[in-house]
Amino acid sequence: MWLFNMGPRTQRIDMSEYERFLDAGDVARITIVQNEGVQVTIKADSLAKKVHQARLSRSGADKDKSGPHYDFYTGTSDNLQDQLIAEAKAHHVSVDIRPANNMAAEIWQYLFLAGMVVLLWVFMMRRIGGPGGPGGQLFNIGKSRAQVFEGGKSTNVNFNDVAGLEEAKEELQEIVDFLKNPKRYTDLGAKIPKGALLVGPPGTGKTLLAKAVAGEANVPFFSLSGSDFVEMFVGVGASRVRDLFKQAKEKAPSIIFIDEIDAIGRARGRSVSMGANDERENTLNQLLTEMDGFGTNSGVILLGATNRADVLDRALMRPGRFDRQIFVDMPDLNERVAILKVHLKPLKLDDAVDVEFLARQTPGFSGADLANICNEAALIAARKKRKQVEKQDFLDAVDRVVGGLEKKNKIITTEEKKAIAYHEAGHATVSWLVEHASPLVKVTIVPRGRSLGAAWYLPDERHLTTAEQMYDEIAAALGGRAAEDIMFGKVSTGALSDLEKVTKQAYAMVTMYGLNERVGNISYYDSTGQQEYSFGKPYSEKTAQTIDEEVSRIVEGQYVRAKHILSENKDKLTALATQLLEKEVIFKEDLEKIFGKRAWEKEEQPIKQPSPNGNGHAVAPKSEVPTSGPRPEEPTSA
């Protein structure tokens, strides 16, 4: 249907009336509007007829001699249009054809565009007037993205939820206590630390400590990441720093926590593009000014967390900005016991699960690793449809986390399986027969992850390492390749990870620890991280050649030593490999049957239990022998 008449004063007729006018010879011209209708113009002398006067006089169309005078609807039929043209020509009537003039469609189009403009304007006004936040607003892009904890809003974490890390907790508790009871400190003339930097490996609990501070402190706590300052627009980072400290000063006393602060705190002047004015450096400059610049802040404490303290700018690390550096190290045996107790609380445990035993099986594990193991053990128990988590589930979880998924259906040829068995037996034999190698837990030729087999050890928790200990470790790592060489007269690519490990260890002995007589008591290690940005090495080409020669001498010497040990115990090596091929997994007890009791067994470290006064007292370890496969070290790929 039409929304409007096709002419300003035309009268609507139907097609039968048009045909009567056409037969009467009254039609002078028709105009066909495609897909819409036809406009009819009557001859000037025919307008005086009564039939036309009666119809057209009401609209005044009879006075317009040029027309059009009538119109009628035809629709979109092409056949009807052809018929109209043929009839008009038969009656000597001129025909005009023009495209449709769809005013309704044009009006709707204009209305749609106008509506879009109005909606866009409303949207812009809301973003301009709306508050800043994690999503960011168009005109608030320079505002801080910090999450604020205040007025009853808490992280639901306090210091009681943080197991271990006693020294770090003590330092942070002192800051919280200063905010709660400032008079106790100010009466002595003490000033609150302006900042504390949490430094440590990933997963040790740096962010968890910050959450505990937020839960304990009764002051506003601003939490954000270092990457929240970085943006594609110039000047945004510095603007966000200014806004963050402005908000913190308005709510002082307050605490700001920046996680992964190395994202903006890297040392200046190390940009890859020489001379470039890095946006990150501008952000750092603003942070330095806000922390301890001309206008010193009072009542704002900054906490930072990073695992790359070596790359931070020295101006950021100085007293007056970060007054304290709190090192959060990997948990020791006692701390692992405490951490495991926290993560085991929500689990339904079997009575045979011993927390101390699990702690002894996981040296070198971080708090995050221990949490992951507890969760994996629960998942394994659920997969086996058990009602409680058993000890074996935890041992399987350690295997799963460290070694990867067990590949039971991996196709390995008989020759490869034999080579893997002798390779792993070589590792186990050498480590059993040298003094300083880590005690062996189990050996397997079942593929896990990327490794085709593994010899798993329980390394000592020591803080100092001698050259003799490192030599024994290198010999044990090369035992697999040495066994292949002795038994098959050829070696394979299975010792890749072993070779990588011993090469790095030998280079560290020569260039870092000063454990080589020829190079001497010199260390080329750069703890500041500057060396990685330099184009040259801190020693000459002649010294570099000497270093390479000494590294090669160390590795080859221990390889010869490993071959000598295996050659003298070839029958025991063969017996161990044969047993591996039969059982696929053997444990410490199986090695004792073949080699006898290990000559260098050490007493287990006693675990300190908390006493009523809060101090720890040593408790003798339980004499439990592991019967399954915990493995804190990376498995050796065969």
Q: Is the pLDDT of residue 604 over 50?
A: yes
Q: How, if at all, do strands 221-225 and 254-259 pair?
A: parallel
Neighbours of 178 (CB within 10 A): 19
Question: What is the token pair recorded at 19?
Answer: 């045909």
Q: What is the pLDDT of residue 422?
A: 92
| DSSP classification of residue 528 | T
Q: What is the pLDDT of residue 319?
A: 86
Catalytic residue among 335, 376, 424, 484: 424
As a whole number of angstroms, the distance between CA 295 and CA 288 comes to 11
pLDDT tens-digit series, residues 509-536: 999 999 999 999 999 887 766 665 566 6
Q: What is the pLDDT of residue 607?
A: 63
Q: What is the phi-psi region of residue 460: left when phi exceeds 0, alpha when psi lies from -120 to 50, beta otherwise? A: beta
Q: What is the pLDDT of residue 611?
A: 42
The closest of 38, 87, 77, 45 to 62, measured between CA atoms, is 45
As a whole number of angstroms, the distance between CA 166 and CA 163 comes to 8
**The amino acid at 422:** Y
The answer to whether residues 266 and 313 touch, using CB atoms and an 8 Å cutoff, is yes
pLDDT tens-digit series, residues 94-142: 888 877 666 666 788 888 888 888 888 877 766 554 444 444 455 566 6
pLDDT tens-digit series, residues 286-343: 888 888 765 555 678 889 999 888 888 888 888 888 888 899 988 888 889 999 999 9
pLDDT tens-digit series, residues 194-251: 889 999 999 888 888 888 888 888 788 888 888 888 776 677 888 888 888 888 888 8
Q: Is the pLDDT of residue 609 over 60?
A: no
Q: What is the pLDDT of residue 606?
A: 62
**CB proximity list for 483: less than 8 A, separation 6 or greater:** 422, 423, 425, 426, 427, 429, 566, 573, 577
Annotated active-site residue 584? The verdict is no
As a whole number of angstroms, the distance between CA 249 and CA 418 comes to 70
Between residues 181 and 449, the one the model is more confident about? 181
**The amino acid at 458:** L
Among 235-244, 415-424, 439-448, the range scoring the smallest mean pLDDT is 439-448
What's the chain's average pLDDT?
80
**CB proximity list for 610: less than 8 A, separation 6 or greater:** 616
Most confident range (mean pLDDT) of 33-47, 269-283, 459-473, 618-632 is 459-473
Q: What is the pLDDT of residue 164?
A: 84
SS3 content of the chain, % helix, strand, coil (to 5): 45, 15, 40
Between residues 50 and 607, the one the model is more confident about? 50
As a whole number of angstroms, the distance between CA 504 and CA 524 comes to 14
Between residues 456 and 62, the one the model is more confident about? 456
